[in-house]
Structure 1
Amino acid sequence: MDNHGTHSDLHSEQGAQRGEHPGRSANPVIKVHELAWLEFDKPDLARTEVFARAFGFTTVSRTPSELVLRGTAAGAPCLIVRNGPRSRYVGAAFKASQATDVVRLADSSGVAVRRLPEHIGGVSVDLMDPSGTRVRVVADLEELPELPAQQAHTFNFGHRLQRVNATQRPPREPSRILRLGHVVQQTTRYLQTLDWYLENLGMIVSDFKYFDGQRERGPMMSFVRCDRGSEPADHHTLALTLGPRNRYVHSAYEVADLDALAAGGEYLSDQGYRRSWGIGRHIEGSQIFDYWRDPDGFLVEHFSDGDMFDNTLEPGWSPMAASGLAQWGPPVTADFLGLSPGRESLRELAAMVTSLRESNEFDLNRLHGLLKVARS
């Protein structure tokens, strides 16, 4: 494959080798425009809303059965949380450019288009990806109006003075979420699931990761963006990684700048919430990040200053290593990697045993690669 257009950065200076995955479909069914919202079930909506407000969301609506949360940007809500017997990730909704795309996808998949509830508006087609996660593609939504946003700060850099006779005093208050940025999912059928998103939703890969010493087996993780043609899109809207069970990993929400992220983190800490990892700057995507656990144990991220790519850049390729997840910041934590002692790490360990007995992409060589990453 021609490497022309491959992006060059700290750890993704390589392009694909001949015969490797191209990172896009030649003729996708449609091309989604963006990630609209995520859906969860949780047993305690009151507790969920308290954390959500501390994290920086604004409540759109709250009933005994449903909580809708948003950022300040105009458009769709960020999260729809429904009351359920246990906490679980339900799936993602992607926004199509127009309703005819929803119809085309429905016809291609052999499922019906349906109308969304009146308070959301528009139409939807509900699909299932190969890992068993529900994927909703929507269009013609009722757009939420823009809210006052948290303003980015004005900085002095050396002799480039932009702030004179004025102080900088970021208040210790919740970061104000702008929008939903991306979701990360783990799957036992990584390549099959990746190809499904590329072929059906027209998404394209920004970066591939492979296990060190196993490049010939193909990638084990990908950062995937929406294809908006010449209009830049987030470096990744979806990230997929191979693992021993199908699960939600984390989701990320943009804030104004580093000060909003850091001061908001201080506020969360003051409220007794637990940081998982941060503050740092990622390599793939370049985002400044800060990860937190919500009361149900779900991992959520504040981010700022992420990369934006148009559709001309080909995927970067690099080996996966825990030490290669950040350009700077504290060492990656056991909690972020899912290795802290507790219920989730035990579930992951049990899933490793089960997955090795089943027909999927997670075999002994892949397990060895995953353990090597954890030690790195």
Structure 2
Amino acid sequence: MSYVRLSAPDLGRMQAFLEDFGMVLAHRDAKRLYMRGVGDSPFLHVTELGAPGAISFGYELSEEADLGALAKLPEAHGIESPDVPGGGRRIRLRDPNGFWLELVTGRERVAPLPSRVLVRGPEGESRSLGPARVVRIAHTAYATPNLADTIGWYQRTFGLLPTDELFVGDQSNVIGQFNRVDRGDQLVDHHVIFLLRGQRAGMHHVSYQVEGVDDIFFGYDHMTHRSHDHVRGIGRHALGSQIFDYWMSPFEQMHEHWISHEKLNAASRFNRIQIGEGMSYDTGEKPPERFVKQATQIVEWPAGA
């Protein structure tokens, strides 16, 4: 993944939330806000000025030649050269739910920020204050009332592989599927997108990998002290061996601190897994109802973006 593009009526409030979450300002003007992490991506998060919502998910293509091939899809809007930090080229297309996807290539990388090394000085102690350190965007989760059609479209269009499928009761009662990228023998994350059944289409959450597992706890303390809206965690997703913590932005867009220790390749086994009502399969507490039903509404593409 490259970034997520959201929408909010107050860029200052969103910037404050994202800085406490662990990002750094890359660029801001009157209409949009770009935030980066400590890695080499020019930005990981875009906020457009407008009504609260979700606009698009951005994906980096591994081969520039794929841009031309994808530009020929019926849903595509041709090759563009957006005026954004890092430059590059992109195409835009819409999924079966009307949600925008941005497929990008040729973005210039930036210098990573220095790592946080925990070394106790002469006057120090064994704790670190301040926000977590976000490294990269890891994945998104997306709710849809048309789950089977949406899964099929993402797999056909991008060659995604199913990792784990969740069902309640009978195997035909599928409530979600994790999908990963196909890089052959190369190791990849458990999923790049989680598609789940919901009453309406919308973004469930966007997930950001932090520098180390300690950052999950640094981040929790910092976000709590700043009185941000905590949704769920700290806990562990059994699938993917992922340590997580979920926070809601001031505009009802859920963001996850995440770090994972399981990797897969194209030969990794696909599993169908029976879970309890309310997605109760993870380690820790049962997910709250607001987590299960979360779906940030889709908003239209903004002029000039």
Same-fold status (TM-score > 0.5): yes
Query: Cα offset for 1:196?
Result: 1.1
CA contact (8 A) 1:290 1:303 kept: yes
SS in 1 for 2:71: helix
Aligned counterpart, 1:276: 231
Deviations 1:86-116 (A, max 9, x none): 1110010111112210101112437421212
Q: Is 2:5–2:56's contact at 8 Å kept on the other side of the alignment?
A: yes
One-letter amino acid matched to 2:13? R
Equivalence for 1:289: 244
Bigger shift: residues 129-138 or 108-117: 108-117
Aligned to 1:204: 161
Q: Partner letter of residue 92 of structure 1? A: F
Q: In structure 1, how many angstroms separate the alpha carbons of the residues matched to 2:88 and 2:213? A: 36
Tell me, in whole angstroms, the C-alpha distance in 2 between the residues paired with 1:225 and 1:113. 25
Query: Counterpart of 1:38?
Result: 4
Equivalent of 2:98 in 113, 118, 132: 132
Aligned residue runs from structure 1 range 330-341, under 5 A: 330-338=285-293
| Equivalent residues in 2 for 1:229-248, closer than 5 Å | 229-248=184-203
1:99, 1:123 within 8 Å by CA — same for their partners in 2? Answer: no
Identify the match of residue 96 of structure 1 among 61, 67, 84.
61
Give the match for residue 305 of structure 1. 260
Q: How far off its partner does 1:82 sit?
A: 1.1
Q: Report 1:185-200 matches (<5 A).
A: 185-200=142-157
What is the letter of the counterpart of residue 225 of structure 2? D
Query: Does the residue aligned with 2:58 lie in a helix, a strand or coil?
Result: strand
C-alpha change, 1:110 and 1:90, in structure 2 (3 Å) is closer
Instruction: Point out where structure 2 has 5 or more consecutive residues left out of the alignment.
Output: 298-305
The one-letter code sitting in structure 1 at the alignment partner of 2:61 is: A
Q: Which one of 300, 323, 326 corresponds to residue 282 of structure 2?
A: 326
| 1:122-153, Cα deviation, whole Å (9 max, x unpaired) | 211111111111111111112222112334x6
2:89 to 101, 117, 123: 123
CA shift, 1:181, in A, is 0.8
**1:337 Cα deviation after fit:** 2.3
Q: Are the aligned partners of 2:91 and 2:102 in contact in 1 as well (CA < 8 Å)?
A: yes
In structure 2, the residue matched to 1:6 is: none
| Structure 1: gaps (5+ residues) | 1-34, 155-162, 348-376
CA contact (8 A) 2:279 2:292 kept: no
Separation of aligned partners in 2, 1:297 and 1:99: 35
Among 162, 165, 175, the residue aligned to 2:132? 175
SS at match of 1:102: helix
- Give the % identical residues: 24
1:250 pairs with one of 189, 196, 205: 205
Quickly say closer, same or farther: Cα 1:305–1:170, change in 2 above 3 A: farther
Deviations 1:221-240 (A, max 9, x none): 11111111111111011000
3-state SS in 2 of match to 1:260: helix
Further displaced range: 170-179 or 46-55? 170-179
User: 1:286, CA displacement in angstroms?
Assistant: 1.3
Is 1:61 paired with 2:27? yes
For the residues of structure 1 that align with 2:288 and 2:84, how far apart are their CA atoms? 43
Change over 3 Å in CA distance of 1:118–1:264 after alignment to 2: closer
* Higher alpha-carbon Rg: 1
**In structure 2, what residue type is equivalent to 1:325?**
Y
TM-score, normalised by the number of residues in structure 1:
0.73
More strand by share: 2
Q: What residue identity is the alignment partner of 1:148?
A: P
CA shift, 1:317, in A, is 0.8
Q: Is the 8 A contact 1:77 1:144 kept in 2?
A: no
1:219 matched to 2:174: yes
TM-score by length of 2: 0.89
Q: RMSD of aligned C-alpha atoms?
A: 2.4
* Cα-to-partner distance string for 1:153-205 (whole Å, 9 max, x where unaligned): 69xxxxxxxx9xxx871312100111111100001111111111111111111
Structure 1 runs of 4+ with >3 Å offset? 108-111, 322-325
CA contact (8 A) 1:36 1:76 kept: no
State how far apart, in whole Å, the 2-side matches of 1:244 and 1:207 are.
22
Cα deviations across residues 284-332 of structure 1 (Å, max 9, x unaligned)?
A: 11111111111112111111234211111131110232363322x3332
User: What CA distance in whole angstroms lies between the structure 1 residues aligned with 2:52 and 2:31?
Assistant: 14
Q: Is the contact between residue 177 and residue 255 of structure 1 (CA under 8 Å) also seen in structure 2?
A: yes
Q: 1:121 to 1:229 in 2, by over 3 A?
A: same
More helix by percentage: 1
